[in-house]
Amino acid sequence: MTALHIDWTACDGRGLCAELVPEVFDRDEWGYPVSRDGRRRPEVPHDATGRARRAVRACPRLALTLVETEARADAEATPPGH
């Protein structure tokens, strides 16, 4: 499975990723991307992989990375102890 990782130290909320892969990201009230599935590394649907790669290349702050994941980690959505 492919997922997108955001480097929050680099992201400045321009929102290009949300425009290119709207099924993965929405934007918060300040323009920063938020994952639609609530995960830190949102999964990319197979049919959106090409657009996700384009978003990685187009990010003006180089804040996006595509990562391969082994399986869905439901623990990512909920912090430990909650």
Could you tell me the residue ranges of all domains in the chain? Answer: 2-72
What is the C-alpha separation between 45 and 77, in angstroms, rounded? 17
What would the pLDDT profile of 48-57 be if each residue is shown by its tens digit? 999 999 999 9
The rounded distance, in Å, linking the Cα atoms of 32 and 26 is 8
Say what the pLDDT of residue 80 is.
53
Phi, psi of 33 (to 5 degrees): -70, 140
CATH of domain 2-72: 3.30.70.20
User: What is the value of pTM for the model shown?
Assistant: 0.81
Q: Encoding tokens for residue 31?
A: 């323009």
